[in-house]
A and B are shown apart, each in its own frame.
Chain A
Amino acid sequence: MKLITNSKGFSSVIGTTFMVLVMMFLGTSVFMWTLSQNTLYNEAVRTRNQEEADRVNEGVVALGGNYSVSGEDVTVLAVLKNAGSVTAQLINLWVLDTNKSRYANKPINLNMNPGDSELVTYTVFIPETGANHTFASWFVTARGNTVPLERELAEGVLVAQVAQGIGYLAMDFDKFKYYEYASDYGLKDFPAGSGGYSVPAAEQLAFGLRLTNYDPTGGKRSLTLNSHSLIWMYFPTIGKQVIWHIVNVDANGTVQPTYSAITLAYQETATVYFASRSDGSFGGTNDRVKPGSTGPAAINLLLLGTIGSDEYGQNIPFVSVYCS
């Protein structure tokens, strides 16, 4: 009653109440607004972090890089693999001719899901380029990563670690076959033949094996085998040797009477046949060769010829057979 009837200090109460309400109103609104702004910022930070994580997890690799030059067009062959955990979009290919210090880029649009693998070929124009030049190239992804293209030569080095690629030519151990004769010049079961590691000692045989030119100098030179190339079988228990000279065999499995040089382009794989007792020719029955002895034998490849403009000679060992 006293408070109501006594009006002293009433204005102070109103003023204080008003001020408190004003302060609460303003404080709350500013706080809420600041909170919303901070939320926006935090959202932007979170998005940025996610983008960075995606960028780091983008794991595209470019392997088996190979370059071929035609005029001033450089064709890049590569195998692209998305080994990362996110999808990737490749948007650009850059190629640098290190000899001329010239470069070019090719816009591309390749989307790759995780685990995808693609063999791609792109051609760029580089003025004054040349076939014997050295190139470097890299892909650029939409997230801004660069993917360097690893040369196929690097894989050749790995092959050499298992002794398959020592020297210029590599032999495919899985494709070592022997053939019996179906006629004077005709090979039996051509081109499948029989597995080459256990051979009949009493039969006249021809051998076929797959060779690849891996010129490791980077010169990408072609390799030509001359008629002196042969395989020789050595029986260590009896000290006997048998040789088969290189021959040409046509698509029907007929051994050609005269040998013409076989050329393997860089990275080309071809099946090469050895059948003749004579160097450079095959005269049918008289030139057929049989192991003639039983027991274990070592087979060596003795290859002669030229690589590019240089002379070439290589001996590839490691094959063993059992003659029975």
Chain B
Amino acid sequence: MKLKSAECLEMDSRKVWKLLHRRRGVSVVVSNVILTGAVIAVSFAVLFWTQYRSSAYNEQYSEAMNADIARLKERLAFEYVFHHQSGNKLSVYLMNCGTINDTTVKTVYITTSTGEHVKVFSNITLMDFDGNEIADQDLDKGEEGYFVLSSPGLAPDTSYSVRVVTGRGSTFDHKFIA
């Protein structure tokens, strides 16, 4: 084996020294790796963020759409509206003839034929036609029920309108003569 001369060893150490101290090529590679990694990381972050935002949007849109569809399916029929003049009460008989269950009565408005509000009722107790309180306080498909409004303040032989607002926000109107 031939041993390196002192001159050769000096040249080698000079090359190593050069490699360690000349950093031009190294910085380009490192910066490219860092930049690419950062871009990919940010891209994923944006992807997850947009997915999160879009799913939130989807959820809101879905809720709004389902609420609209549920409202569309709601329909209440007025079977009879009777004003008990002697007892100063108004009985409103309803039937859920829509295609959705759990229709609640939230608010009832009494208006005159010209649209002026006479009275608003918000605590409505639904009864079945046998006079018993409906347990779940809603009308399922095909279910009938009624509620009684006390002291509606109606003048006899006058035309009025009763507006029923459901829990889902649908409104149903019916004209009657007190």
Residues of A that sit less than 8 Å from B by CB = 7, 10-12, 14-15, 18-19, 22, 26, 29-30, 33-34, 37-38, 40-41, 44-45, 47-48, 51, 91-92, 94, 101, 103, 105, 107, 140, 142-146
Contact = CB atoms under 8 A, between A and B. Distances in A.
A144 B97 CA distance: 6
Contacts of B144: 92
Interface stretch (B10-18, B33-41, B101-109, B111-119): B33-41
A69 B46 CA distance: 80
Given A15-B39, A18-B39, A92 B50 contact: no
Given A11-B36, A14-B39, A22-B43, A92 B79 contact: yes
Nearest to B39: A15
A22 B79 contact: no
B38 to A, nearest CB: 8
- Contact size class for B? 35 or more
B57 interface: yes
B62 interface: yes
Given A40-B69, A41-B65, A140-B77, A22 B99 contact: no
B61 A103 contact: no
A26 B50 contact: yes
A143 B97 contact: yes
Contacts of B80: 94, 103, 105
B124 interface: no
B121 interface: no
B85 interface: yes
23 contacts: A7-B32, A11-B39, A14-B40, A18-B39, A19-B43, A19-B46, A37-B62, A37-B65, A40-B69, A41-B69, A44-B73, A47-B72, A94-B79, A101-B84, A105-B80, A105-B93, A107-B129, A140-B79, A140-B95, A142-B97, A143-B77, A144-B76, A146-B77
